[in-house]
Amino acid sequence: MAQIFISYSRKDIGFVRKLAGDLEKAGYDVWWDLTDLRGGDDWLRVIPSAIEASEHFIVVLSPNSAISDWVKKEYTQALSLRKKIIPLMLARSSVPFALNTINYVDFTSSDYAANLQSLLDALGYTGENPVTTIAALPLMLRKYAIPIILVTGFLLAALSTLILTPLVVTTATPSNIPISPTTTASVTVQVTSTREADTPTVTASLSPTVTLSPSITPTPSPTRTITPSPTNRPFTRLGLCVESEFANSINVRSGPGTIYAPLGEPLLVGTCLFFSARNEEATWLQVAPNQQDISLGQYEGGWIFRELLGLGAMGPIDLPAVTLTPTLLPSDTPTVTPTFTRTPTATLTPSETATDTPVETPTP
């Protein structure tokens, strides 16, 4: 019978008591200080001797054992004697540095029977698990006892209601319904005897019985005619993303054309928006209201060129068309309006020119 030494913290004694009992049921000789130390024993001598005599060394890891000096001394002694050490993780805690290269058996789940089987496999045990799923059944029953009781009580109450409630059949008596009589023959049996010892004579006579059976004449009821109301066409929205190989941002215009002023800040390429309308030529798309991204509210009602949305230059777009009257931007170039100024023209008035008349001078 192989001996097993269990190193643990006294604060985990409830679990160790159950574990030791189950290992003993499997046929192991379990040494743990609560049952194997007697009054007057020298701990510093008895415990190292028990570790040396054991074939397997189980150390229970928990936050309690992580701060226990005795547990540290015990597994240090087992390491020096090169014993087969099996760490057992009872509650999540850090693994001691000296044991971090050894795989531990996880006991943190609630399936104790499966955890014990993993430990028995590590010990090389080939027999039957002393703790079966049937033994674990009471634990499950305790865990789910309240829900089971509530469900059972509800089902019993519903069943008793169905059984104890009398079945009431209501027979409607129609008013103002003509009733036609139906004749049904009934048999009347008369027994006559002349003496007490004689055999009685049975005489059967038929007497008509009138049974009234109502005949129901259906009365047509007015049929309600439902006139469908016009249904508004659902609002069309088309989600598209901005694309451009030549720029990092584009302008959203206040109208369907580059003659309109930009709306809001330049829109980054790759941004996705919803569109609700197009112009008649389907060359520009209008940004829909109520965008999912509130930062895109500045572009609602604006227009984007269709080729910047990956739609190409041609092809139909499933959006309603709107007709807009273009409003031209004011131009910064001054407009020259010619002004005509009338210039007076001088008119020459001829003046008389004196002409010298020759005077004859007598010649002497």
In a domain, 143, yes or no: no
CATH at 245: 2.30.30
What are the backbone angles phi and psi of residue 255, rounded to the nearest 5°? Answer: -150, 170
Is residue 18, in this structure, part of any structural domain at all?
yes
pLDDT (0 to 100) of residue 146 = 74
Please, what is the angle between helix 112-123 and helix 133-143, to 10°?
Answer: 150
**Domain presence at residue 84:** yes
> Which residue blocks in the chain are alpha helix, DSSP H?
13-25, 33-36, 43-53, 63-66, 69-80, 112-123, 133-143, 145-164
How many domains does the chain contain in total? 2
Q: Which of 192, 215, 216, 187 is nearest to 202 (CA)?
A: 192
Question: Is the pLDDT confidence value at 222 over 60?
Answer: no
CB-count burial class (<10 Å; 0-12, 13-18, 19+) for 237? middle
Identify whether 86 is part of a domain.
Answer: yes
Task: Indicate if 133 and 247 belong to the same structural domain.
Answer: no
Give pLDDT tens digits for 92-122. Answer: 999 999 998 999 999 999 999 999 999 999 9
Is 349 a domain residue?
Answer: no
Examine residue 361 and state whether it is found in any structural domain, yes or no. no
In a domain, 217, yes or no: no
**One domain, residues 133 and 245:** no
For 175-204, how does the pLDDT look when each residue is reduced to its tens digit (9 = 90+)? 454 544 444 444 444 444 434 444 444 444
Domain of 116, CATH number, reads 3.40.50.10140
Tokens standing for residue 138: 């009471």
Which of 137, 156, 178 is the last residue before a domain boundary?
137
**Domain termination site, one of 102, 137, 172:** 137
CA-closest candidate to residue 30, choices 42, 18, 12, 44:
18
| Residue 291 within a domain | yes
pLDDT value for 165: 55
User: Does the reported pTM lie above 0.85?
Assistant: no
pLDDT tens readout for residues 241-289: 999 877 889 999 999 999 999 999 999 999 999 999 999 889 999 999 9
Model confidence over 290-347: pLDDT tens digits? 998 989 999 999 999 999 998 887 778 889 998 876 554 454 545 555 555 565 555 5
Domain membership of residue 84 as a residue range: 3-137
Write down which residue in 86, 106, 137 finishes a domain.
Answer: 137
From start to end of the chain, where are the E strands? 3-7, 29-31, 56-61, 84-89, 105-106, 179-192, 201-214, 238-241, 249-250, 267-268, 272-279, 284-287, 303-305, 321-322
130 with 245, same domain?
A: no
